[in-house]
Amino acid sequence: MNRIKLLNCFYDTVTFDETLDWASEWIKNEKQGYIATVNVAISIMMRSNHYLRNFINNASLVVADGQPIVWASRLFALPIPERVTGVDLVEGLAVVASKEDFHVFLLGAEPEVIETVVKKLQQKYNRLNICGFHHGYFSNSETPKIVEAIKQSQAQILIVGMGVPRQENFIQENFSQLGVNLAIGVGGTFQVIAGTKRRAPLWMQQVGLEWFYRLLQEPGRLWKRYLVTNSQFLFYLALEILGINIHQRRDS
């Protein structure tokens, strides 16, 4: 496994299967750390968000959750083998956890959504030990209670779906108190598993258009985000190709 730098972000050159193998060995060896999943939007956000940048730079494993990032890596002869998505990782980690009897805690989404996710995952993977779960709609004052619940559950894997950068902030700020071996932020994955949001068809995922499919579902919320981040990604990619380096903006 190698780590490369692309557009100001480090990525590990791992496949989906290698990511799961890595996670399994990591937990068996009782190590502690977290996985960062980086898509185009996150790669742009981290340039101006100090906390998000620190989270990704300090991750034990960084995977590319965006087909354009995989394509861009090939332009510089630093190929990332494939896209590794949060949705696929949740399913994959459920398989690994069922096989190895790892305990899993789920945090995020609306109360009814996370309850549906728990039911669906346990029906699909009947040996899966979900030792606890909690919705993502809690205040800062409730955070210590959530952290303590995760610690008391003795979870080895924590999966957080509260959106970027809130999920990353939660993991980074509380990781030393959680007692888990492995944490990962997965954005809107719980809604996809619960069926309240639909995932793009496979062909759209393969040609890098999953963002467009999401935009069609939530145009009011996502149009500005995708217009800005996609344009900036292409801009920084062009500069990288031309060998021009622009330093990230310092946080105020």
Q: Where are the domains of the chain?
A: 3-194
In the chain, which stretches have pLDDT less than 50? 248-252
Secondary structure of the chain as H, E, C letters: CCEEEECCEEEECCCHHHHHHHHHHHHHCCCCEEEEEECHHHHHHHHHCHHHHHHHHCCCEEEECCHHHHHHHHHCCCCCCCCCCHHHHHHHHHHHHHHHCCEEEEEECCHHHHHHHHHHHHHHCCCCEEEEEECCCCCHHHHHHHHHHHHHHCCCEEEEECCCCHHHHHHHHHHHHHCCCEEEECCCHHHHHHCCCCCCCHHHHHCCCHHHHHHHHCHHHHHHHHHHHHHHHHHHHHHHHHCCCCCCCCCC
**What pLDDT, in 10s, does the model give residues 53-73?**
999 999 999 999 999 999 999
pLDDT at 246: 58
Specify the CATH architecture of the domain 3-194.
3-Layer(aba) Sandwich (3.40)
